[in-house]
A and B are shown apart, each in its own frame.
Chain A
């Protein structure tokens, strides 16, 4: 029964949702949206599990003084501070237990929660995102080292695309006559991005789409049961 009931629910809901894609009439037309709301409600409850997991794992690491345990303390303290401030004075336009906190808001310019969000959290987020620039450089360096025919092709096309997107690229081939305009670097760059790149991406997307159909059918028909934790 532990297996059969979830499989039955999956099969029924899966088939109804497939049918509803082609039937706009009520109640089928609204089913997809309704189930998304159900998912959000269940996710809301599941968030509690996530928070409990976060606490448990971090407290255990602090308790047993694992390596770098101080960092886990910072995580927990930050979590408690943000939750407390949110509860006391709310966030955005919503009030907390102590109201809108006008006095503090006047001093800080924001509510305490929002103040920390805008002045610490967003900067930390931007810092992590900025790392991407350096990682792209290091990854590109490895990718562009010409070792095989494929990597040489990648190197050539990457150089053409990069040059084509800079003013230097326009300058380099700007002297070409009108009849050789197709060799103008920005044109070559545009061609590479519009045709080979898009074609490749679409091929991957078609394959992935078929993969999703196959996986969905396996799950709906009960052939694939790994997500239930069993065979």
Chain B
């Protein structure tokens, strides 16, 4: 792609693809536009998504619909306290061939899929949660000293229930940081709920059309996203936002200074930029603006900011801190 006109057509193709996937998902998902957009942005940015919401809001449906729309392999793991890491990544099993010789053969776990739904991820023990770390970041797993590559694209969509905290294991910070976005699934409105009831009880389930036909197509679009130019000043703005979440930094906001224990990591800044690029393309621009960065900030940074004891006691969340930072930027 050296010709600007080719680039323009590819960008156009990206936007159309995005819109079509969104439309296909809209067949199954009523409302939740921000969630759908967020998942798609993370999907094209090459990141993973943590969905937080009460049960029954369509989180699993969202993931399933996405996998069908993009025509990629989908697997689901229901995380429970007794789930073992091998249950996710796979294990070496003794198999006997036709000559009666026995040997170890690696049996792939559910992680070997393009889209993995880790349902109620906080119910598994930290040991099991950590089994996803390598897969999420390095896109491979190591079992018995042998690395097993995970096919690209690879997207982990994890869900967690914010209400039932008993018997759960909060995700460790290292693993939280590996999620590109954390999206809060809100309860549907009355109209949306009625529409859900109409769709699920009165008629047949609509068929999902494959928008993308191969994984290569996804990777090509991902590559396009990374080529979107970004001015140095806009990048500095992203850095500034991230630094504002650090309480020890002189640019920190008052709330961050008081209630934040640790600010967002560099991965947060990467997420801001990549998401900003996709938002810019969706907005019909070929460059990233500060508005795109700020649009991505809540989803990209909220799980990367750790509140201190005082903040938790005061009922302050990372969203409060981010809202103040963004308001200060706008002012």
Question: A and B: partners?
Answer: no
Could you list which residues of chain B lie within 8 angstroms of chain A, going by C-beta atoms?
A: none
